[in-house]
């Protein structure tokens, strides 16, 4: 964001149940991707932003796709880092990949958040596993790990973030069975910068992007794993700026000298 702020108006909204948002009480609305997309649209309207460009990764990429389908006229384009999408299908559950997605099933347990959040030690141990395992270079997050622990130990954020996996579980299982209803391809201009060394969202799984995004470009970040924007910030910022900066100012619907 610091690399982009001189050229774009940049925001990073917290999703419902994450960050500093008000925690959902048990039994409240299930935070599906569509619910998050509606939240995002309400937030955009409240701030009077007009049309927006969306940069998203992993969970946020699921929300961005829901937003593009529900509010296609509100976005000028989508920029994705490693991105779950329906074309992954049954490959989520291939025998050699089950060891990578065990946490998604673990998060279905009512007591999962309580167990992980039993202490800072347990929370740190849990988060460090994913940050080290999914990045191309283990230890990359060591300097900021305590900030991650602070975030997830506060505000009931473990339960709030685990709720994402509970909300998408039915669709996840349908995808694994090959029974997820086919959706129309997203027609918004879409750009993907995908980390080569991600063990969770494999680069080979980009092979069906064309079935779900009718206007896309793909580039492989050769030195990155799952966290492309953190592992290669200069590359990420350069590609984001080129993508959105190359669009005519007229598509934004705002001031001529201000991208959003």
Beta strands in 205-249 (DSSP E): 216-221
Q: Which of 36, 39, 58, 212 is catalytic?
A: 58
Q: Three-class SS of residue 119?
A: coil
Q: Do the Cβ atoms of 254 and 107 come closer than 8 Å?
A: no
Distance CA 207, CA 87 (A): 8
The closest alpha carbon to 186, from 163, 215, 208, 158, belongs to 215
Q: Do the Cβ atoms of 78 and 186 come closer than 8 Å?
A: yes
Q: Do the Cβ atoms of 37 and 66 come closer than 8 Å?
A: yes
Hey, what are 176's tokens? 């694994």
Q: Which of 36, 57, 107, 226 is catalytic?
A: 226
Assess whether 165 carries a catalytic annotation: yes
Residue 77: beta bridge partners?
Answer: 53
Q: Please list, in sequence order, all residues whose beta carbon lies within 8 angstroms of the beta carbon of residue 155, skipping any fewer than 6 positions away.
A: 19, 20, 21, 23
Q: Which of 165, 198, 212, 259 is catalytic?
A: 165
Catalytic residues: 58, 165, 226
């Amino acid at each position: 964001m610091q690399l982009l702020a001189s050229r774009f108006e940049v925001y990073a909204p917290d999703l419902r149940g994450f960050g500093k948002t008000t925690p959902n009480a048990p039994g409240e609305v299930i935070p599906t991707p569509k619910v998050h997309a509606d939240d995002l649209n309400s937030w955009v309207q409240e701030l009077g932003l007009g049309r927006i460009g969306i940069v998203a990764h992993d969970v946020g990429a699921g929300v961005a796709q829901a937003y593009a389908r529900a509010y296609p006229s509100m976005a000028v384009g989508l920029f994705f880092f490693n991105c779950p999408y329906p074309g992954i299908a049954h490959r989520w559950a291939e025998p050699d990949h089950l060891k990578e997605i065990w946490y998604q099933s673990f998060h279905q347990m009512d007591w999962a958040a309580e167990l992980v959040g039993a202490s800072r030690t347990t929370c740190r141990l849990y988060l460090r596993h994913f940050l080290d395992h999914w990045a191309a270079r283990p230890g990359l997050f060591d300097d900021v790990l305590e900030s991650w622990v602070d975030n997830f130990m506060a505000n009931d954020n473990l339960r709030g973030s685990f709720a994402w996996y509970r909300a998408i579980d039915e669709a996840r299982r349908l995808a694994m069975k090959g029974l997820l209803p086919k959706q129309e391809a997203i027609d918004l201009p879409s750009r993907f910068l995908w980390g080569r060394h991600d063990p969770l969202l494999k680069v080979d799984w980009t092979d069906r992007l064309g079935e779900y995004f009718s206007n896309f470009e793909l580039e492989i970040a050769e030195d990155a794993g799952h966290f492309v924007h953190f592992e290669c910030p200069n590359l990420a910022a350069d590609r984001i700026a080129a993508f959105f900066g190359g669009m005519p100012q007229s598509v934004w619907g705002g001031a001529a000298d201000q991208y959003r």
